[in-house]
Amino acid sequence: MTDYNAPIKDMKFVLEELCDLDNLNSFPAFSEVNEELVGQILNESARFTNEVISPLNQLGDKQASKLTNGSVKTPDGFKEAYSQFIEGGWNGTPFSPEYGGMGLPWTITTALMEMWQSANLAWSLCPLLTVGAIEAVKAHGTPELQSTYLPKLVSGEWTGTMNLTEPQAGTDLGLLKSRAIREGDHYLITGQKIFITYGEHDFTKNIIHLVLARLPDAPAGIKGISLFLVPKYIVNSDGSLGERNDAYAVNLEEKLGIHASPTCVMAYGDNGGAHGYLIGEENDGLRCMFTMMNSARLNVGLHGVAIGERAYQRAVDFAKNRVQSAPVSGRGTSVTIINHPDVRRMLMMMRAQIEAMRSICYYTNTALDLSRHHDDEKIRLKNHARMDLLTPVVKAWCTDLGVDIASLGLQVHGGMGFIEETGAAQHLRDARIAPIYEGTNGIQAIDLLGRKLLKDGGKEVLNLLEEIEEIDQDLLDTEDTDCMAIQKSLATGRTSLQKATNWLLDPTNNDIDTKFAGATPFLHLVGTVVGGWLIARGALAAHRQLSNGGDQKFLEAKVITARFYSDHILPRTEALLPEITNGSSSVLALAEEQF
């Protein structure tokens, strides 16, 4: 049974060829980030993940976290691994040196996070939530809150959580009942939150909860929600930890997967009220929390890549070692199953989609970096719009595919995949939460269609389509059979996306239910085409490098994988188009009582 090995060469290829690291290096904030430094960071992270985090993955799944008298004990080795993680400075890689961070681009941190998530998804969720808390406090916290909490959060000495969901309020946060009462320089928070990842654990002494609650005089619905910082231990004026706050884990959920991650029911104010501190303005909490949620959506989208890569590595290892049946040609004795065409098909399906997903995740985070650091305002705004458009695609398309790829990995194992000992089943169980996290994937599709496409009249999608078309001539100019085939399939996918966009924007098509019945197929169409565009750019880069004497086997594999994507995955766009334009009537036809 193979363990995880970080695919550094694949990561560097995407970073260098699709994310323009040289351009990022030109910005003052990243002036010291050169190719040599990036290589060192990737290699050291790979060593840490391969040696420390990855070996704990199956053990954590079996042991799970345990709650006793309000305290959580994580599986053996988890706490010690986290200590090594913060000692290495990994928690602060994308954050400003002002707060003790490394100041790396998000583009680079995305590659690091992929490693941590692949190695041990349940463990990695703790620093993932902390990243989101840092983003929210940095964007909306007072200077006092920032100086008190950000250095500890950036270092990882304290961790962060996100508290939105309540038993009666999932997607509809307007229904939340948690309350906040003003009391001097703070607020008293009461209420119950559910599904709180790492709401209680033994990694750190303090946990910083970001909690949505409602003031007594707040407007009804989502316009009356405020955001509060609620520490596990109240912080004294000198920065030391004071008394225990009135915030406790009262239950741990038993889950399908990610068993090692403590998913808590949190009780606030059972003993009078938990001290909380306002983030942003009163009744503006949802906007502030969305800073954290958008960060989490990009990082959860990476789950699909990470779990897919881990499942792929395990499936390849199994296929190379499992001897079963003679070749379909009938010649010879039993062979390893990687020699059977259908197993090859499954492995290539996994590989090609992982490469497309990795490309879109890294590319979108490069847009994030450019939107924050480029010196030209027009380019900053352009990249912000691109990141905004692709965030729901990254989150939903990648996590949907992550489940599919983990399932294919199990299928490659055959009956052995259904046996927990092989580890293949854990990847499928762990992957399944990601399409639900941070707004279900249906919500992401609604966001893409409603808040992105329809809101700006399709401007950003049309800009993207123009960029995708620009690659056509470059592919044809290679006069390479594979590149020309890729161009043809990509043009077909682009045409399908153009037709779907035109149909959704058509003012005569004004039935909103009809449009939104096709929201998920539209999101999948965008993801498939953008993934195809980026993997085609990778094929072009590989073709150029081959002409200059690059690593032949590695680069040929890039072109072949892109060709497989164009042969087997881009053709799906022609099937997605009628789902969007003609499929709504059957979606909506049955009366409620007919279900």
Give the domain ranges of the chain.
8-153, 159-284, 453-586
Q: What is the mean pLDDT of the chain?
A: 96
Helices (H), 432-471: 441-446, 459-469
- Please report the beta strands in 409-538, taking only residues with DSSP state E, as ranges in sequence order: none
Residue 2 pLDDT greater than 80, yes or no: no
Give pLDDT, residue 3: 85
In tens, the pLDDT along 99-153 reads 999 999 999 999 999 999 999 999 999 999 999 999 999 999 999 999 999 999 9
Look at strands 158-163 and 71-73 and give their pairing.
unpaired
In tens, the pLDDT along 487-527 reads 999 999 999 999 999 999 999 988 999 999 999 999 999 99
Domain 8-153 has CATH 1.20.140.10: no
Mean pLDDT of 238-250: 97
Report CA torsion sign: 390, 392, 395, 401.
negative
Site of tokens 């009804």: 220
In CATH, the number for domain 159-284 is 2.40.110.20
Of residues 294 and 573, the one with the higher pLDDT is: 573
Mean pLDDT of 173-191: 96
Q: Tokens standing for 521?
A: 């197929």
Give pLDDT, residue 330: 81
Taking each helix axis from N to C end, the angle separating 519-547 and 8-17, rounded to the nearest 10 degrees, works out to 90
Measuring CA to CA, which residue among 572, 585, 467 is closest to residue 525? 572
Residue 291 pLDDT greater than 70, yes or no: yes
**Other beta carbons less than 10 A from residue 368's beta carbon:** 24
Give pLDDT, residue 25: 86
Measuring CA to CA, which residue among 257, 262, 256 is closest to residue 197? 262
Could you give the CA distance from residue 306 to residue 115 in angstroms, rounded to a whole number? 7
Residues listed for the chain:
595
Residue 332 pLDDT greater than 60, yes or no: yes
Residue 550: which residues within 8 A CB-CB, separation 6 or more?
Answer: 542
Q: How many CA atoms lie within 13 A of 393 on its CB side?
A: 31
Give pLDDT, residue 14: 97
The answer to whether the pTM exceeds 0.95 is yes
Look at strands 158-163 and 206-213 and give their pairing.
parallel
Q: Are 189 and 177 in contact (CB under 8 A)?
A: no
Q: Are 227 and 289 in contact (CB under 8 A)?
A: yes
Give pLDDT, residue 24: 87
Mean pLDDT of 373-389: 96
Active-site residue list? 438
Contacts of 373-381 spanning 24+ positions with Cβ under 8 A: 373/24, 373/27, 373/29, 373/30, 374/27, 375/27
In tens, the pLDDT along 45-84 reads 999 999 999 999 999 999 999 999 999 999 999 999 999 9
Could you give the CA distance from residue 113 to residue 337 in angstroms, rounded to a whole number? 32
Measuring CA to CA, which residue among 72, 58, 66 is closest to residue 122? 58
Q: What percent of the chain has pLDDT over 70?
A: 100
In tens, the pLDDT along 543-565 reads 999 999 989 999 999 999 999 99
**Partners of residue 265 on adjacent β-strands:** 251
Site of tokens 């099937």: 575
Residue 272 pLDDT greater than 90, yes or no: yes
Mean pLDDT of 322-336: 90
